[in-house]
Structure 1
Amino acid sequence: MKEIAASMAGTVLKVFVNAGEGIQPGQEVVMLESMKMEIPVESSIEGIVKEVKVNVGDFVNEGDPLIVLV
């Protein structure tokens, strides 16, 4: 199982993928807001989304899993 983790602490603004979707390296999967800046989280790997572990409005810490891939 592979995971895409938060690159920094922040609030989830948008989730761009759903379970069952295929994603490619470089694809934006989540948009975080931190210190009034929008920070895109991109996948570094290819895979199929098994689970989205966050919802819009959730606060995440650096390293928290956002997306689980198979």
Structure 2
Amino acid sequence: MKSEIISPMPGIVVDVLVNKGDSVLAGQDAVIIESMKMENPLRAPADGTVADVLVAKNDNVAMNQVLVIIN
């Protein structure tokens, strides 16, 4: 089953902590975005394997933008 990590707010990607092919656990930090001068870790919603990383460090992201896809 496919899961997605979605940005809950607009911001800038500070760091991407996972790569395509990585195994992740539910709750594991995957992407850190900065919004309103605060860093916010975004976590994997489920266990799985990273199918795709759609952002890179310093990218601007919009609210509800898909950042990472997990299978």
- Same fold by TM (over 0.5)? yes
Structure 1 residues 34-69: Cα deviation after superposition (integer angstroms, max 9, x where no partner): 111101101111110011000111111111001011
Identity %: 37
Q: Which runs of 5+ in 2 are unaligned?
A: none
SS in 2 for 1:51: strand
Superposition pairs for residues 3-14 of structure 1, below 5 Å?
3-14=4-15
Letter in 1 for 2:67: L
Q: Given the two structures, how large is their TM-score scaled by the length of structure 2?
A: 0.91
> Corresponding residue for 1:33?
34
Partner SS state of residue 42, structure 2? strand
Alignment deviations for residues 6-35 of structure 1 (CA, whole Å, 9 cap, x no partner): 121100000000010111111000000011
Structure 1 counterpart of 2:65: 64
Separation in structure 1 between the aligned mates of residue 42 and residue 57 of structure 2, nearest angstrom:
14
| Structure 1: tracts of 5 or more residues without a match | none
2:43 pairs with 1:42: yes
Deviates more, 1:16-25 or 1:2-11: 2-11
Structure 2 counterpart of 1:43, which letter?
A
TM superposition outliers: structure 1 runs of 4+ over 3 Å: none
Residue 2 of structure 1: how far off its partner (Å): 2.3
Distance (Å, rounded) in 1 between the aligned partners of 2:56 and 2:27: 21
Aligned partner letter, 1:22: S
